[in-house]
Structure 1
Amino acid sequence: MATEAEKTSADISKNPFSGENIDPRRQIALNLTVIARLLRNNFDRKVATLNVTRSQWTLIAVVSRNPGATQRVIAEHLEMSEASAGRLIDRLCAEGLLIRRDRKDDRRARAIYLTEAATPLLEQLHQIATASEDRMFSHFSVEEIDQLKDFMARIYENVSRG
Protein backbone atom coordinates (compact mmCIF):
# COMPACT_ATOMS: atom_id res chain seq x y z
CA MET A 1 0.00 0.00 0.00
CA ALA A 2 1.27 3.49 -0.89
CA THR A 3 2.39 5.84 1.84
CA GLU A 4 0.74 9.24 2.26
CA ALA A 5 3.83 10.96 0.80
CA GLU A 6 3.73 8.69 -2.26
CA LYS A 7 0.03 9.41 -2.76
CA THR A 8 0.63 13.16 -2.51
CA SER A 9 3.58 12.95 -4.90
CA ALA A 10 1.53 10.94 -7.39
CA ASP A 11 -1.37 13.39 -7.15
CA ILE A 12 0.91 16.37 -7.79
CA SER A 13 2.54 14.76 -10.80
CA LYS A 14 -0.87 13.96 -12.30
CA ASN A 15 -2.53 17.30 -11.69
CA PRO A 16 -0.70 20.19 -10.04
CA PHE A 17 -4.04 21.96 -9.63
CA SER A 18 -5.51 19.52 -7.19
CA GLY A 19 -5.16 20.51 -3.59
CA GLU A 20 -7.98 19.72 -1.26
CA ASN A 21 -6.69 21.54 1.78
CA ILE A 22 -5.29 24.63 0.07
CA ASP A 23 -7.03 27.99 0.22
CA PRO A 24 -8.66 28.47 -3.22
CA ARG A 25 -6.94 31.83 -3.66
CA ARG A 26 -3.55 30.24 -2.97
CA GLN A 27 -4.38 27.43 -5.39
CA ILE A 28 -5.29 29.90 -8.13
CA ALA A 29 -2.07 31.89 -7.53
CA LEU A 30 -0.04 28.67 -7.78
CA ASN A 31 -1.96 27.64 -10.89
CA LEU A 32 -1.20 30.96 -12.60
CA THR A 33 2.51 30.45 -11.91
CA VAL A 34 2.51 26.89 -13.25
CA ILE A 35 0.48 27.82 -16.33
CA ALA A 36 2.76 30.76 -17.14
CA ARG A 37 5.84 28.51 -16.91
CA LEU A 38 4.21 25.82 -19.07
CA LEU A 39 3.20 28.38 -21.70
CA ARG A 40 6.72 29.82 -21.88
CA ASN A 41 8.38 26.40 -22.01
CA ASN A 42 5.99 25.04 -24.65
CA PHE A 43 6.42 28.14 -26.80
CA ASP A 44 10.22 28.02 -26.40
CA ARG A 45 10.24 24.39 -27.55
CA LYS A 46 8.18 25.22 -30.62
CA VAL A 47 10.22 28.26 -31.65
CA ALA A 48 13.54 26.46 -31.12
CA THR A 49 13.24 25.23 -34.72
CA LEU A 50 13.34 28.90 -35.79
CA ASN A 51 16.72 29.35 -34.05
CA VAL A 52 15.39 32.14 -31.85
CA THR A 53 15.73 32.43 -28.08
CA ARG A 54 13.06 33.57 -25.63
CA SER A 55 14.86 36.90 -25.19
CA GLN A 56 14.96 37.40 -28.94
CA TRP A 57 11.35 36.50 -29.68
CA THR A 58 10.05 38.57 -26.77
CA LEU A 59 12.06 41.58 -27.92
CA ILE A 60 10.81 41.16 -31.48
CA ALA A 61 7.24 40.94 -30.16
CA VAL A 62 7.69 44.11 -28.08
CA VAL A 63 9.07 46.04 -31.06
CA SER A 64 6.29 44.77 -33.33
CA ARG A 65 3.71 46.14 -30.87
CA ASN A 66 5.69 49.33 -30.17
CA PRO A 67 7.46 50.39 -33.39
CA GLY A 68 9.84 53.25 -32.73
CA ALA A 69 10.24 52.42 -29.04
CA THR A 70 13.48 53.40 -27.39
CA GLN A 71 15.91 50.97 -25.82
CA ARG A 72 14.75 52.16 -22.40
CA VAL A 73 11.08 51.44 -23.16
CA ILE A 74 11.97 48.02 -24.56
CA ALA A 75 14.05 47.21 -21.47
CA GLU A 76 11.13 48.16 -19.23
CA HIS A 77 8.76 45.90 -21.18
CA LEU A 78 11.22 43.01 -20.95
CA GLU A 79 12.06 43.71 -17.31
CA MET A 80 15.78 43.80 -18.00
CA SER A 81 18.53 46.38 -17.78
CA GLU A 82 19.01 48.86 -20.58
CA ALA A 83 22.50 47.44 -21.14
CA SER A 84 21.14 43.90 -21.59
CA ALA A 85 18.41 45.17 -23.90
CA GLY A 86 21.05 47.10 -25.85
CA ARG A 87 23.20 44.00 -26.37
CA LEU A 88 20.17 42.04 -27.54
CA ILE A 89 19.11 44.86 -29.88
CA ASP A 90 22.69 45.00 -31.24
CA ARG A 91 22.58 41.25 -31.95
CA LEU A 92 19.21 41.48 -33.73
CA CYS A 93 20.39 44.52 -35.71
CA ALA A 94 23.48 42.55 -36.79
CA GLU A 95 21.18 39.72 -37.91
CA GLY A 96 19.19 42.24 -39.96
CA LEU A 97 15.95 41.85 -37.98
CA LEU A 98 15.97 45.28 -36.30
CA ILE A 99 17.15 48.73 -37.22
CA ARG A 100 17.95 51.78 -35.11
CA ARG A 101 16.88 55.19 -36.37
CA ASP A 102 17.43 58.67 -35.02
CA ARG A 103 14.44 60.26 -33.32
CA LYS A 104 13.40 63.72 -34.38
CA ASP A 105 12.05 64.61 -30.94
CA ASP A 106 15.17 63.51 -28.97
CA ARG A 107 18.64 63.51 -30.50
CA ARG A 108 20.01 61.32 -27.70
CA ALA A 109 17.51 58.48 -28.14
CA ARG A 110 17.31 56.03 -30.99
CA ALA A 111 14.08 54.43 -32.17
CA ILE A 112 13.99 50.67 -32.78
CA TYR A 113 12.03 49.18 -35.69
CA LEU A 114 11.59 45.77 -37.26
CA THR A 115 13.08 45.32 -40.72
CA GLU A 116 11.40 43.60 -43.65
CA ALA A 117 13.64 40.61 -42.93
CA ALA A 118 11.81 40.15 -39.60
CA THR A 119 8.41 39.76 -41.26
CA PRO A 120 8.66 36.00 -42.04
CA LEU A 121 9.92 35.27 -38.52
CA LEU A 122 7.14 37.37 -36.99
CA GLU A 123 4.58 35.50 -39.10
CA GLN A 124 5.96 32.14 -37.93
CA LEU A 125 5.89 33.30 -34.30
CA HIS A 126 2.30 34.43 -34.82
CA GLN A 127 1.31 31.03 -36.24
CA ILE A 128 2.90 29.20 -33.31
CA ALA A 129 1.18 31.54 -30.83
CA THR A 130 -2.19 31.09 -32.54
CA ALA A 131 -1.89 27.29 -32.46
CA SER A 132 -0.94 27.44 -28.77
CA GLU A 133 -3.90 29.70 -28.00
CA ASP A 134 -6.27 27.45 -29.93
CA ARG A 135 -5.13 24.48 -27.86
CA MET A 136 -5.18 26.43 -24.58
CA PHE A 137 -8.71 27.71 -25.06
CA SER A 138 -10.28 24.66 -26.69
CA HIS A 139 -13.56 23.74 -25.03
CA PHE A 140 -14.07 27.34 -23.84
CA SER A 141 -17.02 29.34 -25.10
CA VAL A 142 -16.61 32.93 -26.24
CA GLU A 143 -18.50 34.01 -23.11
CA GLU A 144 -16.16 32.04 -20.85
CA ILE A 145 -13.12 33.57 -22.53
CA ASP A 146 -14.60 37.06 -22.10
CA GLN A 147 -15.31 36.34 -18.44
CA LEU A 148 -11.79 35.00 -17.89
CA LYS A 149 -10.38 38.09 -19.61
CA ASP A 150 -12.33 40.29 -17.21
CA PHE A 151 -11.16 38.27 -14.20
CA MET A 152 -7.55 38.46 -15.37
CA ALA A 153 -7.84 42.24 -15.85
CA ARG A 154 -9.10 42.58 -12.27
CA ILE A 155 -6.29 40.40 -10.95
CA TYR A 156 -3.78 42.46 -12.94
CA GLU A 157 -5.15 45.69 -11.49
CA ASN A 158 -4.93 44.32 -7.95
CA VAL A 159 -1.39 42.99 -8.41
CA SER A 160 -0.07 46.05 -10.23
CA ARG A 161 -1.02 48.29 -7.30
CA GLY A 162 1.67 46.57 -5.27
Structure 2
Amino acid sequence: MNKKQEPLPQTDRRRLPWELPRFRNWIAVARVHQLWKKVFGEALAPLGIQLAHYDVLANIAHHPGLTQQALAEKLLVGRSAMSMLLPELERRGLIERRGDETDRRVRRLWLTEEGAGLTETAMALHVARLDAMMTVLSDAECDSIGEMMRRIAASLEGRTEPGA
Protein backbone atom coordinates (compact mmCIF):
# COMPACT_ATOMS: atom_id res chain seq x y z
CA MET A 1 0.00 0.00 0.00
CA ASN A 2 1.43 3.39 -0.90
CA LYS A 3 1.01 6.57 1.15
CA LYS A 4 -1.96 7.73 -0.89
CA GLN A 5 -3.97 4.54 -0.40
CA GLU A 6 -6.41 4.22 2.44
CA PRO A 7 -6.61 0.88 4.29
CA LEU A 8 -9.46 -1.25 3.10
CA PRO A 9 -12.54 -1.18 5.31
CA GLN A 10 -13.09 -4.41 7.28
CA THR A 11 -15.94 -5.42 4.96
CA ASP A 12 -13.75 -5.12 1.86
CA ARG A 13 -10.84 -7.25 2.98
CA ARG A 14 -10.49 -10.85 3.98
CA ARG A 15 -11.05 -11.33 7.71
CA LEU A 16 -8.10 -12.62 9.69
CA PRO A 17 -8.59 -15.87 11.60
CA TRP A 18 -8.48 -14.32 15.07
CA GLU A 19 -11.31 -12.01 14.04
CA LEU A 20 -13.59 -15.01 13.52
CA PRO A 21 -15.56 -16.13 16.61
CA ARG A 22 -15.13 -19.86 15.94
CA PHE A 23 -11.37 -19.45 15.56
CA ARG A 24 -11.09 -17.34 18.74
CA ASN A 25 -13.19 -19.83 20.68
CA TRP A 26 -11.15 -22.77 19.45
CA ILE A 27 -7.95 -21.00 20.46
CA ALA A 28 -9.45 -20.66 23.96
CA VAL A 29 -10.12 -24.43 24.05
CA ALA A 30 -6.60 -25.19 22.81
CA ARG A 31 -5.09 -22.83 25.38
CA VAL A 32 -6.99 -24.49 28.23
CA HIS A 33 -5.79 -27.88 26.97
CA GLN A 34 -2.14 -26.74 26.94
CA LEU A 35 -2.44 -25.13 30.38
CA TRP A 36 -4.08 -28.29 31.73
CA LYS A 37 -1.23 -30.44 30.42
CA LYS A 38 1.23 -28.14 32.22
CA VAL A 39 -0.69 -28.05 35.51
CA PHE A 40 -1.41 -31.77 35.60
CA GLY A 41 2.10 -32.65 34.42
CA GLU A 42 3.50 -30.68 37.36
CA ALA A 43 1.13 -32.52 39.73
CA LEU A 44 2.30 -35.91 38.39
CA ALA A 45 6.03 -35.11 38.59
CA PRO A 46 6.42 -36.02 42.31
CA LEU A 47 5.00 -39.46 41.46
CA GLY A 48 7.76 -39.99 38.90
CA ILE A 49 5.42 -40.21 35.94
CA GLN A 50 4.56 -38.03 33.00
CA LEU A 51 1.19 -37.40 31.38
CA ALA A 52 1.79 -40.10 28.74
CA HIS A 53 2.51 -42.66 31.50
CA TYR A 54 -0.64 -41.63 33.33
CA ASP A 55 -2.74 -42.00 30.18
CA VAL A 56 -1.50 -45.58 29.76
CA LEU A 57 -1.91 -46.51 33.43
CA ALA A 58 -5.38 -44.97 33.77
CA ASN A 59 -6.62 -46.72 30.63
CA ILE A 60 -5.31 -50.09 31.80
CA ALA A 61 -6.95 -49.48 35.20
CA HIS A 62 -10.23 -48.73 33.45
CA HIS A 63 -9.93 -51.65 31.00
CA PRO A 64 -7.80 -54.42 32.56
CA GLY A 65 -6.52 -56.84 29.92
CA LEU A 66 -6.70 -54.22 27.18
CA THR A 67 -4.62 -55.10 24.14
CA GLN A 68 -1.66 -52.97 23.13
CA GLN A 69 -3.39 -52.21 19.82
CA ALA A 70 -6.63 -51.14 21.52
CA LEU A 71 -4.69 -48.92 23.91
CA ALA A 72 -2.89 -47.20 21.05
CA GLU A 73 -6.24 -46.59 19.34
CA LYS A 74 -7.83 -45.20 22.53
CA LEU A 75 -4.92 -42.82 23.04
CA LEU A 76 -4.81 -41.86 19.34
CA VAL A 77 -1.12 -42.75 19.11
CA GLY A 78 0.88 -45.04 16.89
CA ARG A 79 2.49 -48.33 17.70
CA SER A 80 5.90 -46.67 17.95
CA ALA A 81 4.71 -44.52 20.87
CA MET A 82 3.42 -47.63 22.61
CA SER A 83 6.62 -49.53 21.90
CA MET A 84 8.53 -46.84 23.80
CA LEU A 85 6.16 -46.37 26.75
CA LEU A 86 5.16 -49.93 27.57
CA PRO A 87 8.64 -51.41 28.08
CA GLU A 88 9.53 -48.49 30.35
CA LEU A 89 6.44 -49.04 32.51
CA GLU A 90 7.10 -52.77 32.52
CA ARG A 91 10.74 -52.29 33.64
CA ARG A 92 9.50 -50.06 36.46
CA GLY A 93 7.20 -52.86 37.61
CA LEU A 94 4.01 -50.88 36.95
CA ILE A 95 2.47 -53.04 34.22
CA GLU A 96 2.62 -56.58 32.91
CA ARG A 97 2.26 -57.61 29.29
CA ARG A 98 0.80 -61.08 28.97
CA GLY A 99 0.04 -63.15 25.92
CA ASP A 100 -3.56 -63.71 24.95
CA GLU A 101 -4.87 -67.20 25.65
CA THR A 102 -6.47 -67.58 22.22
CA ASP A 103 -4.22 -65.50 19.94
CA ARG A 104 -0.46 -65.69 20.42
CA ARG A 105 0.07 -62.47 18.44
CA VAL A 106 -1.91 -60.40 20.96
CA ARG A 107 -0.42 -58.94 24.14
CA ARG A 108 -2.76 -57.88 26.93
CA LEU A 109 -1.94 -55.24 29.53
CA TRP A 110 -2.40 -55.46 33.29
CA LEU A 111 -1.39 -53.26 36.19
CA THR A 112 0.87 -54.75 38.82
CA GLU A 113 0.07 -54.17 42.47
CA GLU A 114 2.56 -51.29 42.51
CA GLY A 115 1.10 -49.92 39.27
CA ALA A 116 -2.43 -50.07 40.66
CA GLY A 117 -1.38 -48.14 43.77
CA LEU A 118 0.42 -45.47 41.77
CA THR A 119 -2.49 -45.19 39.35
CA GLU A 120 -4.97 -44.78 42.20
CA THR A 121 -2.85 -41.95 43.65
CA ALA A 122 -2.49 -40.29 40.25
CA MET A 123 -6.22 -40.60 39.56
CA ALA A 124 -7.00 -38.91 42.89
CA LEU A 125 -4.69 -36.04 41.86
CA HIS A 126 -6.41 -35.92 38.48
CA VAL A 127 -9.87 -35.66 39.99
CA ALA A 128 -8.77 -33.04 42.54
CA ARG A 129 -7.08 -30.86 39.89
CA LEU A 130 -10.05 -31.17 37.52
CA ASP A 131 -12.47 -30.27 40.27
CA ALA A 132 -10.38 -27.22 41.22
CA MET A 133 -10.15 -26.12 37.59
CA MET A 134 -13.87 -26.49 36.96
CA THR A 135 -15.02 -24.58 40.07
CA VAL A 136 -15.26 -21.42 37.96
CA LEU A 137 -18.23 -23.05 36.18
CA SER A 138 -21.67 -24.02 37.40
CA ASP A 139 -22.67 -27.67 37.11
CA ALA A 140 -24.91 -26.75 34.15
CA GLU A 141 -22.06 -24.93 32.38
CA CYS A 142 -19.73 -27.87 32.99
CA ASP A 143 -22.32 -30.29 31.57
CA SER A 144 -22.88 -28.01 28.59
CA ILE A 145 -19.18 -27.85 27.74
CA GLY A 146 -18.92 -31.62 28.03
CA GLU A 147 -21.86 -32.16 25.70
CA MET A 148 -20.47 -29.70 23.16
CA MET A 149 -17.01 -31.32 23.21
CA ARG A 150 -18.55 -34.80 22.78
CA ARG A 151 -20.48 -33.55 19.74
CA ILE A 152 -17.33 -32.05 18.25
CA ALA A 153 -15.39 -35.26 18.95
CA ALA A 154 -18.10 -37.36 17.31
CA SER A 155 -18.05 -35.06 14.31
CA LEU A 156 -14.28 -35.38 13.97
CA GLU A 157 -14.35 -39.14 14.53
CA GLY A 158 -17.07 -39.62 11.92
CA ARG A 159 -15.94 -36.76 9.71
CA THR A 160 -19.56 -35.69 9.51
CA GLU A 161 -18.82 -31.98 9.31
CA PRO A 162 -19.46 -30.18 6.02
CA GLY A 163 -16.53 -30.39 3.65
CA ALA A 164 -14.94 -33.42 5.30
Q: Same-fold call, TM > 0.5?
A: yes
The amino acid of 1:77's aligned partner reads: K
Residue in 2 that maps onto 1:42: 39
Is 1:117 equivalent to 2:114 in the alignment? yes
What is the deviation of 1:146? Answer: 1.8
Is 1:58 equivalent to 2:55 in the alignment? yes
Greater Cα radius of gyration, structure 1 or 2:
2
The RMSD of aligned alpha carbons is 1.7
User: Where in structure 2 are there 5+ consecutive unaligned residues?
Assistant: 1-17, 160-164
Is 1:93 equivalent to 2:93 in the alignment? no
Name the SS for the 2:113 alignment partner: coil
Contact 1:56 1:88 (8 Å CA) reproduced: yes
> TM-score, normalised to structure 2's length?
0.78
Q: Which contiguous aligned blocks of 4+ residues in structure 1 show a shift greater than 4 angstroms?
A: none
Structure 1 Cα separation of the partners of residues 107 and 156 of structure 2: 32
Listed as ranges, the matches of 1:3-82 within 5 Å are 22-82=19-79
Residue in 2 that maps onto 1:10: none
Residue in 2 that maps onto 1:150: 147
How many residue pairs get aligned? The number is 142
Residue in 2 that maps onto 1:11: none
Structure 1 Cα separation of the partners of residues 152 and 128 of structure 2: 26
Contact 1:103 1:109 (8 Å CA) reproduced: yes
Identical positions, percent = 27
> TM-score, normalised to structure 1's length?
0.79
